[in-house]
Structure 1
Amino acid sequence: MDFSFGAQDEELRGRARAWLSEHLVGPYAQVLGLGGPGSEHEGAGIRRAWERELGRGGWIGQGWEADGWGNRRLSLTGQVVWAEEYAALRAPGRVGHIGENLLAPTLIAYGSPEQQDRFLPGIARGEELWCQGYSEPGAGSDLAGIRTAAVRDAADGLYRVTGQKIWTSLAQDADWCFVLARTEPGSRRHRGLSFLLVRMDQPGRVEVRPIRQMSGTSEFNEVFFDGAVAAEVVGAEGDGWTVAMGLLALERGVSTLVQQIGFAAELERVLASYAARAAAGAGDPVLRERLVRQWAELRTMRWNALRTLGTEGDPGAPSVAKLLWGGWHRRLGELAVEVRGAAATAGPALWEPGLPYELGLDEEQRLFLFTRADTIYGGSDEIQRNIIAERVLGLPKEPR
């Protein structure tokens, strides 16, 4: 299979590189390389302004199946080219990912024309940020077990949402949240769910509580809804499971390749650290072999992601991708500290009184701590294997 890029892609590469180089200046130069996994809190205000800069350039919504909302459509290979140049110039981590890559394609597939015209322009301009209200304390990977309820008021037709969501990325900065809620009293599992759009700025009705992690940062949040008002339901009432599953199927694709570009940069840092140790006579052939394997696996994941970009309706592809990168990234975190040896256990936070814990962590330590969660969040390995076994291989369902 030919994974090379064509002449049009290379022409786009030059334009993308020129635009990024011209605009990643001033305050935006201060956040180069910031905002990746485990450090989403860094430079949040400047990165939000950067989102609007991308919107003015038309670079948001490249993969949407329609245009006309201020976005420029690119081919799949064009989107990969943009992602490669974005990563190569260390442009800051995106704060609009959830709206652009999850909600927008879902609205295009399931939303009404009025909903598309209302919400897509704000996303394309980088002006409205979104978060995802799926997981709950008793319903994480088992999404069908959610208990958050929404009751429709017969007087005004609005929904009143009550319940709790957890592990909600970017909730502290989001303007809106798409919420999977139970709108049919007494319903169970996949039935009676609806996909609602909830404004976050509802004092007394929506509360966000950051979850402090062992890395010292708080990218994830708990969100409490106490009668929060929702006027919009995507799809028909009761069709929430269909819409939610459609959204999850959109979560991979080009975004997986973007993620892998970041992985490659992290691997390069670990390789450089090992090279320095080897030059000092502290090389380890076992570690070297594991690093070579890590490099080869990343290349294989890239080729697999490129191969599956154009496939549609494959229920196993997203789960295979998640299984591959989750385990790979966790192993990279382990290698990062093993290459450092005993020095990986030291840091300013261990001997400077009063210094916040997270400020005492270097990149390798933060990588190790954050990647402990890679095989859990976004759908645990157990759930991904069940999906592959049941929906692809046709094996009996796991007893409940």
Structure 2
Amino acid sequence: MSSTDLVLLVVAIATAAVLLSPPLLRSRDWRATVTPLASIIGSGFLVAGPILGHVAGHYAVAAMAALCAISYLFGLAVRDNISRLEPMLAAESPPAVLLWLDRAADLALILAYFVSVAYYLDLLADFALKAFDVVDPMVAHGMTTAILALLGTLGYFGGLRWLEHVELGSVGLKLAMIAALIAALAWALGSEVAAGTVAVRPLADQAEGFDAVRILLGLIILVQGFETSRYLGDSYDRATRVRTMRHAQWIAFVVYMLFIGLLTPWLDGRLPPEAATPMSSNCCAPSAAWSRRRSSSPRCCHSFRRRSPISTAPAASSPAPRASESPSLSAMSSQHQPRSRWCGRATSSPSSPGRPKPSFSIMASSRRPHSSSNGSTPPRPAGAASPCTAAPSPSRSPC
């Protein structure tokens, strides 16, 4: 176990022991803090670093500070509504204008939460399924629907108290993992500083102009969610909700600033690659690891559309396939060659100059060849054949 792994493990266990301790779980203030805190630090935490690096580059910390400042101003407005507006709305005859504005704001927030909650749960499902090598939108949507149904059932039958029980455990574990991640980043950065090898990564890609401003404004959703305290009036008094909302914002700001600050040296401005190909594409033999784990013949991956990294280094020589072995498996087992437009297009190998060597791309072409920019179909190179038709398996067709 490396020193970084040890730091991760120790900090995660220690933080979880504190946050899941019975005295803290019984604290009324902590219960009121957890609800807005769970909304502020959500699944958006997973993508905050790369997106801020793409928008602000090496000034990602400054951009995060600006987002926190803007959201704190929004929080001031919500806390003022709790302190001043709620007593006016609770009067026997509240002003009609205030009543109408309050109901219109409730409706707008409901519609916004329909989009926000569904989006973040879908994002969470994508990340969770990737741990099992599953990249299927239908499976992710089904998982999101199941989570929504479970939370709706808990809220309908148990009310806020049952949901709070779920939140207390999930937020405690989430903060423990985040604390461990921040500690590991600090340890890694400190190790580089001590060794004199610390260096800020050069920017490879960055949003500019109005696109950067538009994305940055959209990132305010990362630090929103504190407004949920406004709707806990049946369980907590106004003073408690105002105080705990402020505490939730402070905790979230510290977490985000530490995380982005420690992550900045590793940000290069590039966003993560696409996780899936278009739904209409055909793909055979997705990866060597998949074929080794699953079966002896290639498999069409309509459900597992993952774009594996492809090395541009020369392929190492591999033994010739046996007669009973599918040639496409041999190609998959060897190191991947650079992708080309055609599935199985012949590319030159440095080991044998002047002589084309077949290499099968990870993502096979669709049934119909791609068209060029002028709309015409490029001719297939001589001698090139698709793995779907060049060497079918004796037992069954690869596709």
Q: TM-score range by the shorter chain?
A: under 0.3
Task: Answer 1 or 2: which has greater helix percent.
Answer: 2
The TM-score normalised by the length of structure 2 is: 0.22
Larger Rg: 2
Task: Answer 1 or 2: which has greater strand percent.
Answer: 1
Of structures 1 and 2, the one with the larger relative CO (CA 8 A, separation 6+) is 2
The TM-score normalised by the length of structure 1 is: 0.22
